[in-house]
Structure 1
Amino acid sequence: MTLLLAGDIGGTKTILRLVNAADAEGSLQTLYEAIYPSRNYPDLVPIVQQFLKAATERIPSVSPPLTQEMKGGVLVPQKACFAIAGPVVNNTSTLTNLTWSLDAKRLEQQLGIKSIILINDFAAVGYGVLGLAESDLYTLQTGKHQPEAPIAVIGAGTGLGQGFLLRTAAIYQVFPSEGGHADFAPRSELEFGLLKYLLDKHNIQRISVERVVSGQGIVAIYQFLRDRQIGTEMPEIGQTVRTWEQEAGRSEKTVDPAAVIAKAALEKSDRLSEQTLQLFVEAYGAEAGNLAIKLLPYGGLYVAGGIAAKILPLIKEGSFLHSFTHKGRVSPLLERVPVHIVLNPQVGLIGAAICASRL
């Protein structure tokens, strides 16, 4: 039995989970979980200390008892993994949207935890797909699963995360990627128009796929269709987008136009929003197919991130999968790739626990 601490550390909130690795089969039992507003704390250490004190008081009795994990009357895990919304270098990280500077060695000393590792939040998603139940997934394409083959992970949210897993010996190893910063590859006259619009708008010489396939990409596509008068704007949605445009440069915004546009598209209440999501879903599927071409992930391609599950009805309509497999002479290869949409929003936290268990 080993007591583990998993964390999902973001600029807005920090989620912590205390886990009991109860047996040699890799079974992970959640004992206690809590959410904290990150900006209310100067560092991660006081959050973890508060969490462990609360966990000691509130977790149910477990077997075997956890008395051997107590220090000074408080439960202290043996291992911890924190998934960070930001770059991780040499087990250190400076969070993008917080003033925190985290160092695993410092955290080990101040928290009394024997082993701590910091990983990027999308690397945690990579570990997390290994721990998902069937109910956590919607299978978009069954394909022909191969147990020893690579696994690919892609996820649009604030940005566009990509990664992959390779089988080594008895386990999968997780590898991060910066594939979201590859060039956006337009495939139609409309997408070429979008590319030129973004180049001119930002006065830059290249457009990454993340500028199109992400939350910011949904807004960018909407602006392009609006400004090129390809669709007619509804006043309510237009006002939300203009407020967002006026707040450019602020670290915190008062509106979320991507969510508003997606909601209108799902409800089919605004034609411009529907057109926006149609183009977004097609670009998303095409980029997922690009990743699959490079890896041939017959172990499965998992679509995670904060957007896919929320717009699942639009993804299921078919344009995502059509763009995914529409790759000319190699299209039959992609028709064999199992494609799954991740429905569980805590996949990163699951992954952090799995990563901690391997320390």
Structure 2
Amino acid sequence: MTLLIAGDIGGTKTILRLVEVTDQAVDFKPLFEVTYPSQNYSDLVPMVQEFLAQTNYIPEIACFAIAGPVIKQTSQLTNLSWYLDATRLQQQLNLETVNLINDFAAVSYGVLGLKSNELASLQTVEAQNDAPIAILGAGTGLGEGFLIPKGDGDYQVFGTEGGHTDFAARSELEYQISQYICREKKLDRISVERVVSGQGIISIYQALRDLEIITEKNEKIADTIKQWEQNPTSDIDPAAIISQAAQAKTDPLSEKTMEIFIEAYAAEAGNLALKILPYGGLYLAGGIAAKNLELIKASRFLEIFKQKGRVSPILDAIPVNIILNPEVGLLGSILYGINHF
């Protein structure tokens, strides 16, 4: 029996789970799990120590999925001030082995372990077993990754930083929004992540409001967003408030915000699909897609996804799914950890 700590470390929250791995290293049993607000900790070590203090178990190995690039088992997190080094973590936590993997590499591993009831299909076509798989997901940021078949039923997983590539406006309105974000945040360019993410939802809303493209009609929503603007460290989640208002159709400004967000998301999904040609499937991860499933289904997502000029028909053969399991990254870190100790 081997005990493993798996972690999914994001800019907003970190999920830690302790699992028991069977002697055959092919299965695992969850033992204990806690979710922590990442910003409340200066480093991963005190969080894990607090986690272990609540159990009577002594784990041997760990695998942590990181929201940022992982280079030679080190990582400077993108949306946190943490710098993680696997060797340091191994020593300070008294573990035999620590593996760090990119969060979207973890999601990629997790996709391989998903069941059909953990997916919602947007485009249902048969997946090709010998073709690549692509994953992208909007959350705190925008993650992208892909899997390449190795020929033996297994896959090689690659995490990327594709969310930080340049955002390309597809309309005059998107151009106005991108220029607004540049001015407000004092940037000389904006990445796709600045639009297709939770922070992007907020920026789109602010742009539509401040540029007077859509007027505020729901005073409660407008006041709540302004309260958050005055105190961004408050418990208010403006992106969630905007998306919920759009789903309830109680605020035209929120509805337009989500329309623009979803179409930008679809365009980037199509861009990734053209680069990878993932006939094994394209998966939307991250909490935003799953929480806005009905909005996405009712939107022009597939139309925009396939709006790629002369090569548009290529995308008809790509299965497109939304991942419903919110802990797919954690599942991936478990599967990776099991196979790398």
Q: Normalized against structure 1, the TM-score is what?
A: 0.85
Alignment correspondent of 1:326: 307
Quickly say closer, same or farther: Cα 1:8–1:41, change in 2 above 3 A. same
C-alpha distance in structure 2 between counterparts of 1:323 and 1:41, whole Å? 40
| Residue 250 (structure 2) aligned to one of 258, 265, 269 | 269
Shift in CA distance, 317/98, structure 1 to aligned 2, threshold 3 Å: closer
Please point out which of 282, 295, 306 is paired with 2:276: 295
SS of the aligned residue for 1:309 comes to helix
Greater C-alpha radius of gyration: 1
Choose from 270, 281, 289 the match for 2:262.
281
Residues 61-110 of structure 1 deviation map (CA, whole Å, 9 limit, x = unaligned): xxxxxxxxxxxxx4323x32012234433212345666654321222234
User: In the alignment, which residue of structure 2 is the partner of 1:9?
Assistant: 9
Q: Is 1:144 aligned to residue 116 of structure 2?
A: no
AA in 1 matched with 2:307 = H
Inter-partner Cα distance in structure 2 for 1:109 and 1:94: 19
2:139 matches 1:157: yes
- 1:18 paired with 2:18, answer yes
CA distance in 1, matches of 2:210, 2:241: 18
Indicate if the aligned counterparts of 1:53 and 1:75 stay in contact, CA closer than 8 A: no
- Distance change in 2, residues 1:346/1:241 (3 Å): same
Q: Secondary structure at the match of 1:308?
A: helix
Aligned equivalents of 2:261 and 2:35: distance in 1? Answer: 32
Matches within 5 A, 1:115-130: 115-130=97-112
1:184 and 2:180 are equivalent in the alignment: no
Q: How does 1:1-359 map to 2 (within 5 A)?
A: 2-10=2-10, 13-22=13-22, 24=24, 26-38=26-38, 43-52=43-52, 54-56=54-56, 74-77=57-60, 79-95=61-77, 100-170=82-152, 171-233=154-216, 234-247=218-231, 252-359=233-340
**Partner Cα separation in structure 1 for residue 118 and residue 13 of structure 2:** 23
Please give the alpha-carbon distance, in whole angstroms, between the structure 2 residues aligned to 1:108 and 1:199: 41
- Contact kept, 8 Å, 2:63 with 2:334, in 1: the verdict is yes
Change (3 A) 1:96 1:335: closer
- Shift in Å, 1:240: 2.3
Q: Deviations over 1:129-155 (max 9, x none)?
A: 111111111011112310121111101
How many angstroms does 1:332 deviate by? 1.3
**In structure 2, distance between residues paired with 1:41 and 1:207:** 29
Q: Structure 1 residues 284, 96: CA separation in 2 closer, same or farther (over 3 Å shift)?
A: closer
Do the aligned partners of 1:9 and 1:82 also contact (CA within 8 Å) in 2? yes
Shift of 1:300: 0.7
- Structure 1 residues 161 and 28: alpha-carbon distance in aligned structure 2, compared to 1, 3 A threshold: same
What is the deviation of 1:159?
1.1
- Unaligned segments of structure 2, at least 5 residues: none
Deviation, 1:32, is 2.6
Does structure 2 retain, via aligned residues, the 8 Å contact 1:150–1:167? yes
Comparing 40-49 with 190-199, which one deviates more in the overlay?
40-49
TM superposition score normalised by structure 2: 0.90
- My pick for the range that moved more, 345-354 or 238-247, is 238-247
Q: CA offset at residue 228 of structure 1?
A: 2.8
Contact 1:136/1:342 (8 A) holds in 2: yes
Q: Which moved more, 1:192-201 or 1:272-281?
A: 192-201
Tell me which amino acid in the other structure corresponds to 2:221. I
Give the counterpart letter for 1:182 in structure 2: T
SS in structure 1 of the partner of residue 289 of structure 2: coil
3-state DSSP of counterpart to 2:112: helix
Aligned length: 338
Q: Check the 8 A contact 1:212/1:220 in 2, yes or no.
A: yes
Q: Distance in 2 between matches of 1:230 and 1:36?
A: 39
Say which SS state the counterpart of residue 17 (structure 2) adopts: strand
Is the 2:215–2:253 contact (alpha carbons within 8 Å) kept by the matching residues of 1? yes
Q: How far apart are 1:285 and its partner, in Å?
A: 0.5
Secondary structure (helix, strand or coil) at the match of 2:16 reads strand
Spell out, residue by residue over 1:278-331, the C-alpha distance to the aligned partner (whole angstroms, 9 max, x if none). Answer: 111111111100000000001111101121111111101141111111112211
Distance 1:212 1:18 in 2: 35
